[in-house]
Amino acid sequence: MGRLAVRAPGRALLPLLPFMLIALCGCRLVNELAGAAAGGATAAASANPLVGVAVGVAVNSALDATTDYIVRRRQQAEQDAIAGEVASMAIGDRRPWEIRHDIPIGNEHGEVQVTRVITTPLASCKELLFSVVSGNGEDLKRAWYTTQACHDGQRWKWALAEPAVERWGSLQ
Amino acid sequence: MLSGCTSILTESTSAGAGVAAAGISRAVTKDPAVVTGIGLAAQAVARAGLQYTERKVHQSEQDTIAAVAGALPVGGVAKWRIVHDIPIEANEHGDVTVSRTLGGADITCKEIVFSVDDDKERAFYMATICRDGAIWKWATAEPATERWGVLQ
């Protein structure tokens, strides 16, 4: 009985396993495993290793593009959620932010505070401090980050530009 | 933002090289394991080559914006434009302004706001540039890896 009670939640989570793997391991690893599996299966069916490699690579490509797209869209939604909060905020204001995805993995929340208003002839921008809260009770962690948002005429959007290529080149 | 290389481009370049190499080596050896190994190795080399090219192209865009902004005072606005020799990334243009200067006695940096314009809309971004001798270079560091891991 005790054993069943322990196993039940594990089984309930099985359908979510692929998503959890993506969240935990990063998408690239999952894609390459899937691509390799597809390549192997095709090679076995066609008995031609070249066809196997080609199909594996094609599957990799499609999975890469799809998961990159999904992950980026989700991250963009989170950036929009944080940047959107600062529209009516003045320096020193602090308020909660939250993102709830349709697939309930990677939902995050925290607080956002405006630390500086940057007025330029080109655009109005704000520097902000935001936290991402994870865990509960004693395990609760609150990580703080800084970023900038600018108003593009219609809405506030994340404005932090990409890192210098010399710093980021070998990391991608 | 500054339009990146797509996964499809990456994969078609490296896969093309990989399959071509595998085809050539297949004529030399009958061992499918060796053929596959050579194909994958060629893919890795092609992928690294493409990433190098793309980094160089993107770096020239950062250098262009930094050079224009480096000559501006706080509040000054100027246009920037990049036309790439290698058409991996789109030719882009916009405005740039300096929002403040920062640094110390021997470090000169500027915080900049720049736009990337197209026919329909303009997007605004912020970055930092610092002067190295006579040259202004992009100085924004990479994101915290905890925030960035799955996006690379």
Say whether A159 and B96 touch across the interface (CB within 8 A): no
Give me the pLDDT at residue B10, please.
52
Confidence of residue A172 (pLDDT cuts 50, 70, 90): low
Nearest-by-CA chain B residue for A47: B32
ipTM above 0.85? no
Q: Which residues of A7-31 are buried (b: 16+ CB within 10 A; e: fewer)?
A: eeeeeeeeeeeeeeebeeebbbebb
Please tell me the distance from the alpha carbon of residue A98 to that of residue A131, in angstroms, as a whole number.
11
Q: Please give the residue that has the higher pLDDT: either B78 or A30.
A: B78
A34–B contact, CB cutoff 8 A: no
Please tell me the distance from the alpha carbon of residue B115 to that of residue A157, in angstroms, as a whole number.
12
Q: Which of A54, A159, A165 sits opposite B55 (nearest CB)?
A: A165
Give me the pLDDT at residue B46, please.
80
Please tell me the distance from the alpha carbon of residue B140 to that of residue B126, in angstroms, as a whole number.
9
Asked which of A45-54, A114-123, A150-159 is least confident by mean pLDDT, the reply is A45-54
Return the sign of the alpha-carbon dihedral for residues A116, B137, B80, A76. Answer: negative
Q: Which residues of B touch A106 (CB under 8 A)?
A: none
Q: Which residues of A touch B121 (CB under 8 A)?
A: 152-153
Give me the pLDDT at residue A89, please.
95
Say whether A58 and B15 touch across the interface (CB within 8 A): yes
Region A91-99: what's the mean pLDDT? 94
Kindly tell me if the per-residue pLDDT of A71 is higher than 90: no
The DSSP secondary-structure symbol of A162 reads P
Q: Please give the residue that has the higher pLDDT: either B52 or A25.
A: B52
**pLDDT < 50 positions in chain B:** 1-8
How close B9 gets to chain A, by Cα (Å)? Answer: 9
Give me the pLDDT at residue B105, please.
76
Q: Which residues of B touch A68 (CB under 8 A)?
A: 7
Give me the pLDDT at residue B19, please.
60
Q: Which of B10, B32, B142 sits opposite A167 (nearest CB)?
A: B142
Residue range A40-49, pLDDT digits in tens: 666 666 666 6
Confidence of residue A25 (pLDDT cuts 50, 70, 90): very low
Region A70-78: what's the mean pLDDT? 86
Give me the pLDDT at residue B33, please.
67
Question: What's the predicted TM-score (pTM) here?
Answer: 0.71
Say whether A157 and B124 touch across the interface (CB within 8 A): yes
Give me the pLDDT at residue B74, please.
97
Confidence of residue A103 (pLDDT cuts 50, 70, 90): confident
Q: Three-state SS for A164?
A: coil
Q: Which residues of A touch B72 (CB under 8 A)?
A: none
Kindly tell me if the per-residue pLDDT of A2 is higher than 60: no
Instruction: For chains A and B, count residue pairs whose Cβ atoms are closer than 8 Å.
Output: 143
Contact between residue B149 and residue B132 where contact means Cβ atoms under 8 Å apart: no
Confidence of residue A122 (pLDDT cuts 50, 70, 90): very high
Give me the pLDDT at residue B86, please.
78
Give me the pLDDT at residue A69, please.
83
Residue range B80-103, pLDDT digits in tens: 999 888 777 788 999 999 999 998
